[in-house]
Amino acid sequence: MDTDAMIQEDAGSTIEEMVSEKGWDSFREIEKRVIQEACAVDLLVIATGGGALMDQENVRNLKRNGWIVWLKANAQVIHERMKRDEKRGKTRPSLTGADSLQEIEEVLAMRLPFYERAGDFTVDTDRLSIPQAAALIMKNLPDHFKCGII
């Protein structure tokens, strides 16, 4: 489950539209509810937005029934990935209003302690393909989460 997609479906608008019309607080409120709902279902992979782990209730809900994997990347790699997403029409509203690379660096610095505290396993994705990252996660997945995986 992708919580951002669930939030957009719930709101009937894109995240960019929602944030511009109602602000980040409204987005975070819906995000918290969506995460709580997703965490009530067994055997799911839940993809959250980067800010979700800054809320301790979200972290508690995610850990209650799961294992948190931090997909780590440096600011330049994230910037390049976001530029590719923008070319495909996926945009994310600014958090600080700064230049995009500068904003990524600032946001990462602010969020780093939250990611380090919440993460049960870290995958440095800078030089990994999606299949390589997935294989590394599966290799390290705790046995009690493997019961529903073929």
Domains of the chain: 3-145 (3.40.50.300)
User: What pLDDT does residue 82 have?
Assistant: 86
Report pLDDT for 150: 52
pLDDT at site 146? 72
CB count within 10 Å of CB 134 equals 13
Residue that the structure tokens 């990252």 belong to = 133
Q: Phi then psi for 102, rounded to 5 degrees?
A: -60, -40
State pTM to two decimals. Answer: 0.84
pLDDT beneath 50, residues of the chain:
none
CA distance 73 to 150: 29
pLDDT at 86: 76
